[in-house]
């Protein structure tokens, strides 16, 4: 994998005419060949950022380089395939005719239309009018249109939105497949499992600000050990003595240790030797959901 | 730009709105000729009698001009508003703008195809009028002779210009309002009501001192241009207040302003 940057933004900001600051000084970088998850709650500024990257809206300030060009530059657009928000097609045309229209705009051969229909498994229904398509078929056609140029950068905004569980699983598999090789995929989503399953790196946006950007592994942090023991206070004191206060935390009736799970046997021995009853002792890894809620200040289950 | 023209033609060649409009205008020409034929052959009704001579092929150009304004103009305005406004409501503008051509190249393709469609509608008006006039001449036992080719070309050009200007007004309103419904409403009110009221007010204001201003309204110029196509068989009519040459220049000016305004709005504004 080459380590060159395909998307680079600096202090990218969008303030709408009504004063709403939708995107605030975002500095993100997406590397060639990776699947980058752009994560954030609804209204966080994901779609506005993506719209700026494809040149649909102009930033109030800051800069962006996408596929080596300014956003909206025809030379750059030739290398980018995108599906921003709901797929937009002509309802009176068939799926195939819609793709031919897009292919004409993009200067792509109509032969490619059949190829992308095949990739998204829509060939058998390509003759039906777009207006009669289900949500899943519309999303597939949107992805097909994004693939027409065989782009080096694919920008997908919530591609599983509105799909049923089976459709979501199929779409995830499709994105994984098309993200293979040297193609870069920027995937916006508010679905954490989706991002965790598909992406190499993630950027988390909240309130218009990019709050973090790293690999999924870095974001989840080091592995640790979860302990449930009685009496809990004594267990906490003993473990804090063993590993230091900063490595020990209490959460939901359990104690979490930042340590290598390989030392679980010794931890158990020390607790038992001190007369502390151990009911649970296992390795744990933070879920992306936990990290996300911590970073964005959102409440779980809200 | 060629790519944009290809794409625009592909998506608009079978567009229901255009096909329905083409059929509608053909039906209206047939209805118009039928009504006039009946009136010409059944004199004595409440309406002024019509000379059958106006319905024969040699008067084709002069007779079909009645379809140009305000009916043809209103239809062109509707189509113009639809071709730009519906791109916003369908969300297709973002699909189009994220392909290879730039915004202005895309608009250029759209304008070219739209004006081709205005040409097609003009041809339909003339073709249906010609066919029906042949039917009437044959039924009435009148010899079939046609206007000079140059007169047909001038008439078709004038008709196309009127449709093009009003269609472009619809286009700019569609871009301005980012939807077709508001553009249709405002455009139709302007063409069929507002402009007429304003012209009447200006004409009557202060004893007609400012009547010259009305010579710069697009509707006045369209009407004047179409009225220049007449002949003695239509009976006496007052000379148009605006000469054909000025009318053409003013309408071309309006066409340019509407297209430039569309381009400026599309180029500058965010697509949200």
The interface predicted TM-score of the complex, written ipTM, equals: 0.88
Query: CA separation (Å) from A286 to A127, A224, A248, A291?
Result: 47, 9, 14, 7
Residue B103 has pLDDT above 70, yes or no: yes
Provide the 8-state DSSP code for A244. Answer: -
Report the C-alpha gap between B195 and B55 in whole angstroms: 31
Backbone angles phi, psi at A60, to 5 degrees: -70, -40
| B90/A89 CB distance under 8 A | yes
pLDDT at B48: 65
| B101/A74 CB distance under 8 A | yes
Residue B87 has pLDDT above 60, yes or no: yes
Closest CB from A87, A89, A102 relative to B99: A102
pLDDT at A145: 95
Residue B21 has pLDDT above 90, yes or no: yes
Decide: A112 and A99 in contact? Cβ < 8 Å. Answer: no
Inter-chain CB pairs, A–B, below 8 Å: 85
Query: CA separation (Å) from B224 to A58, A201, B157, B227?
Result: 44, 67, 14, 5
User: What is the band of B47 on the pLDDT scale with cuts at 50, 70, 90?
Assistant: low
Nearest CA in chain B to A98: B11
State the distance between the two ends of chain B, measured CA to CA, in whole angstroms. Answer: 24
Nearest CA in chain B to A57: B270
Q: Which helix (H) or strand (E) holds A110?
A: none
Task: State pLDDT tens for residues A36-92.
Answer: 999 888 889 999 999 999 999 999 999 999 999 999 999 999 999 999 988 999 999
Closest CB from A74, A82, A93 relative to B102: A74
Residue A78's CB is within 10 A of a number of other CB atoms, namely 18
User: What is the band of B46 on the pLDDT scale with cuts at 50, 70, 90?
Assistant: low
Report the C-alpha gap between A252 and A254 in whole angstroms: 6
Report the C-alpha gap between B132 and B153 in whole angstroms: 19
In terms of DSSP H, where are the helices of B52-102? 60-64, 73-89, 92-97
| B3/A104 CB distance under 8 A | yes
Decide: A157 and A83 in contact? Cβ < 8 Å. Answer: yes
User: What is the band of A302 on the pLDDT scale with cuts at 50, 70, 90?
Assistant: very low
> Is A147 in CB contact (< 8 Å) with chain B?
no
Average pLDDT value for chain B: 91
What value does the mean pLDDT take over residues B56-70?
Answer: 87
| A101/B272 CB distance under 8 A | no
What value does the mean pLDDT take over residues B110-120?
Answer: 96
A74 contact residues in B (CB cutoff 8 A): 100-102, 105
What value does the mean pLDDT take over residues B36-51?
Answer: 79
B93 contact residues in A (CB cutoff 8 A): 88
Beta partners for residue A248, in sequence order: A257
Nearest CA in chain B to A143: B95
> Is A77 in CB contact (< 8 Å) with chain B?
yes
Report the C-alpha gap between A292 and A300 in whole angstroms: 9
pLDDT at A285: 73
Closest Cα of chain B to A74: distance in Å? 5
Q: Which of the two residues, B167 and A295, has the higher pLDDT score?
A: B167
Query: CA separation (Å) from B57 to A296, A297, B76?
Result: 77, 79, 26
User: What is the band of B141 on the pLDDT scale with cuts at 50, 70, 90?
Assistant: very high
Closest Cα of chain B to A156: distance in Å? 13
User: What is the band of A269 on the pLDDT scale with cuts at 50, 70, 90?
Assistant: very high
Closest Cα of chain A to B272: distance in Å? 7
Residue B189's CB is within 10 A of a number of other CB atoms, namely 11
> Is B48 in CB contact (< 8 Å) with chain A?
no
Instruction: Go through chain B and tell me how many residues it has.
Output: 272
User: What is the band of A216 on the pLDDT scale with cuts at 50, 70, 90?
Assistant: confident
| pTM tops 0.90, yes or no | no
């Amino acid at each position: 994998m080459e380590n060159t940057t395909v998307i680079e933004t600096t202090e990218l900001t969008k303030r709408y005419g009504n004063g709403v600051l939708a995107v605030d000084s975002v500095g993100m970088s997406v590397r060639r060949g990776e699947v980058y998850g752009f994560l954030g709650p609804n209204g966080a500024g994901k779609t506005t950022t993506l719209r700026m990257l494809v040149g649909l809206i102009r930033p109030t300030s800051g800069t962006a380089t996408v596929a080596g060009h300014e956003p909206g530059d025809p030379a750059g657009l030739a290398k980018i395939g995108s599906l921003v928000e709901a797929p937009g097609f002509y309802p009176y045309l068939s799926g195939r005719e819609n793709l031919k229209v897009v292919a004409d705009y993009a200067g792509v051969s109509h032969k490619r239309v059949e190829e992308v229909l095949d990739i998204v498994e829509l060939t058998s229904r390509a003759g039906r009018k777009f207006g009669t398509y289900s949500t899943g078929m519309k999303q597939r056609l949107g992805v097909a249109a994004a693939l027409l140029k065989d782009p080096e950068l694919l920008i997908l905004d919530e591609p599983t939105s509105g799909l049923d569980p089976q459709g979501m699983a199929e779409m995830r598999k499709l994105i994984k497949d098309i993200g293979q090789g040297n193609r870069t995929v920027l995937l916006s989503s508010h679905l954490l499992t989706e991002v965790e399953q598909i992406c190499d790196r993630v950027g988390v946006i909240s309130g218009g600000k990019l709050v973090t950007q790293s690999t999924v592994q870095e974001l989840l942090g080091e592995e640790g050990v979860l302990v449930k023991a009685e009496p809990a206070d004594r267990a906490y004191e003993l473990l804090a003595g063993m590993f230091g206060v900063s490595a020990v935390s209490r959460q939901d009736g359990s104690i979490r240790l930042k340590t290598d799970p390989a030392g679980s046997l010794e931890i158990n021995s020390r607790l038992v030797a001190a007369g502390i009853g151990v009911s649970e002792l296992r390795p744990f890894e933070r879920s992306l959901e936990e990290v996300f809620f911590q970073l964005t200040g959102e409440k779980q289950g809200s | 730009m060629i790519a944009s023209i290809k794409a625009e033609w592909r998506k608009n060649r079978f567009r229901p709105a255009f096909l329905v409009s083409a059929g509608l205008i053909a039906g209206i020409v047939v209805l118009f000729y039928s009504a006039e034929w009946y009136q010409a052959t059944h004199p004595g009704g409440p309406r002024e009698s019509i000379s059958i001579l106006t319905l024969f092929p040699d008067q084709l150009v002069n007779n079909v001009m009645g379809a140009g304004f305000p009916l043809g103009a209103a239809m062109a305005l509707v189509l113009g508003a639809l071709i730009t406004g519906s791109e916003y409501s369908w969300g297709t503008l973002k699909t189009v703008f994220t392909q290879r051509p730039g915004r202005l190249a895309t608009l250029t393709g759209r304008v070219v195809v739209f004006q081709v469609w205005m040409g097609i509608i003009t041809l339909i008006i003339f073709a249906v009028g010609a066919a029906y006039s042949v039917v009437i001449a044959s039924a009435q036992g009148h010899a079939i002779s046609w206007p000079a080719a140059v007169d047909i070309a001038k008439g078709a050009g004038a008709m196309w210009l009127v449709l093009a200007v009003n269609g472009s007004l619809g286009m700019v309103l569609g871009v301005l309002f980012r939807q077709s419904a508001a553009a249709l409403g405002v455009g139709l009110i302007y063409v069929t009501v507002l402009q007429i009221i304003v012209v009447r007010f200006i004409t009557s204001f202060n004893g007609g001192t400012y009547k010259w201003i009305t010579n710069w309204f697009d509707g006045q110029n369209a009407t004047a241009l179409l009225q220049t196509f007449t002949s003695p068989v239509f009976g006496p009519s007052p000379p148009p207040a605006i000469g054909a040459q000025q009318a053409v220049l003013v309408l071309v000016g309006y066409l340019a302003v509407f297209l430039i305004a569309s381009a400026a709005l599309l180029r500058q504004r965010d697509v949200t």
